[in-house]
Amino acid sequence: MDRTKIKICGLSRLCDIEYVNLAMPDYAGFVFWEQSRRNVSIKKAEKLSKALDSSIKSVGIFVNAPFEKIINLCDKNIIDIIQLHGSEDNEYIAKLREYIPKKVIWKAYKVCSKEDLKAAESSAADVVLLDNGYGTGKCFDWSLIEEFTRPFILAGGLTQENICDAIRKFQPYAVDISSGVESEGVKDKEKILKVVTTVRNC
């Protein structure tokens, strides 16, 4: 199996970009949702993405966003991957593909029950992300995904302390870390470096 990829999410400052450029995860996430404390404007995201190492793919996180906003960010080459974190259904994904057919689409699912996993299994997205709900910083009941067969990104409450256990047990396509690499609500350089090193050595 290929090694598990790493995404550091919720970057909002130039120093955050400096940290990930040192750590070299596979993906860096920018949140485009005004209700999030990690929200960034298109103008700011453009500046941040230009400073990002070219080998790190940028991911835009959206919550029930209008197509025009996503298309604009793609046209400006600010994001490489689209991550949908709202109630977007397969019809929404199909319509979005008509506008930007070459972009990879990820879809997040809040996992509370086996029923939630059925929706994830049938998603039209390229990759699904399993989470406890956006930005909670808490793990969901991992026992629910023991029989989940589709490749997925694991998110929610991941830290340097628990991430290797999760990788060994579930072999996710990728792990997505945000609050787990923060101190007092902002990205922490040492935590980012440590968690990326930890995942690489799992």
CATH number of the domain that residue 55 is part of: 3.20.20.70
Amino acid identity of residue 24, one-letter, is M
For residue 186, the model assigns a pLDDT of 94
- Which residue range(s) make up the domain with 33? 5-200
Q: How far is it, in rounded angstroms, from Cα 101 to Cα 96?
A: 8
- Residue 21, pLDDT > 90, answer yes
Q: How many domains does the chain have?
A: 1
Q: Does the active-site annotation cover 164?
A: no
- 100-154 confidence digits (pLDDT tens): 999 999 999 988 888 888 989 999 999 999 987 655 555 567 778 888 889 999 9
- Residue 200, pLDDT > 90, answer yes
Query: Residue 95's CB: how many other CB atoms inside 10 A?
Result: 12
Q: Which of 16, 26, 131, 176 is catalytic?
A: 131
Amino acid identity of residue 10, one-letter, is G
> Percentage of the chain surpassing pLDDT 70?
96
Q: Yes or no: say if 141 and 118 are a contact pair by the CB < 8 Å rule.
A: no
Exposure pattern of 130-145 as b/e (b: 16+ CB <10 Å)? bbbebbeeebbebeeb
Q: Does the active-site annotation cover 131?
A: yes
Exposure pattern of 176-198 as b/e (b: 16+ CB <10 Å)? bbbbbbbeeeebbbebbbebbeb
- 46-74 confidence digits (pLDDT tens): 999 999 999 999 999 999 999 999 999 99
Q: Which of 9, 16, 26, 176 is catalytic?
A: 9
- How far does Cα 119 stand from its chain's mean position? 19
Pick 179 or 24 by higher pLDDT.
Answer: 24
For residue 171, the model assigns a pLDDT of 92
